[in-house]
Amino acid sequence: MLINKDTQVCISLAKNAGNFGCTIHNAGFRCLDLNFIYKSFSVDNLEEAILGMRAFKIRGAGITMPYKIEVLDYVDAVSEEAYLIGSANTVVNNDGILTAYNTDSFSSYETLRKYSAHKRVFILGKGGFSKAVQFSANKLFDEVIVITRDGWQEISDIRDSLIFNCTPVERINVHKTNDFIDCLISTESGRRLSLLQASRQFELYTNTKFPIKYIEKNFNSLMAKNQ
């Protein structure tokens, strides 16, 4: 992939940067021969990072924990869905106008609708990602219950339900009668959620359909190369 003066740059902004976005987006760019490059950054000051995005005319940015709510303070426009949710995980730069979007709502809806036989869902956490999951869950379930750290002990009493972890807590023990969705990238469900939301981000950045079949076919080898 040739990098030149016309290469469009996309980034992610996180407290602790990871490799997932770099792997998935750059693989998509190469597959479609797009003149784009993606790089993740660890940042401590989101406002300054967004100013840098403006100054360097960065095309797009993925926003991860803990900045999904704060980012709304630094953009020029907010999509209807991100406004209703109250958080965003994507910023797109269109000729200097920064617009916030929420692609977590897409990934969570596509995941949750496979469990629509349940009447209720328990959502663990109340942060930016949880807000997107709640937004999606309210379209599909009769009852949506949010559990925060103060009520963590309630998890062990849940039976015959759907539980969706939206926190960084690992190895949560749930009763075997429940279905469990985990947002952590180290889990199968977390990787799928990340791939789905990245596919929508990719399309916002490039105005091009994400090559999801290619990415899924080569997923393991792509991730192995970027460990």
Catalytic residues: 68
User: Tokens at residue 12, please?
Assistant: 């992610």
Distance between CA 12 and CA 194 in Å, rounded?
13
29 Cβ contact list (under 8 Å, min separation 6): 1, 35, 36, 37, 38, 206
Residue 14: phi and psi, rounded to 5, are -145, 165
User: What are the Cα distances from residue 160, in Å, to 47, 121, 165, 174, 182?
Assistant: 43, 10, 16, 11, 17
DSSP-derived pairing of the beta strands 143-147 and 97-101: unpaired
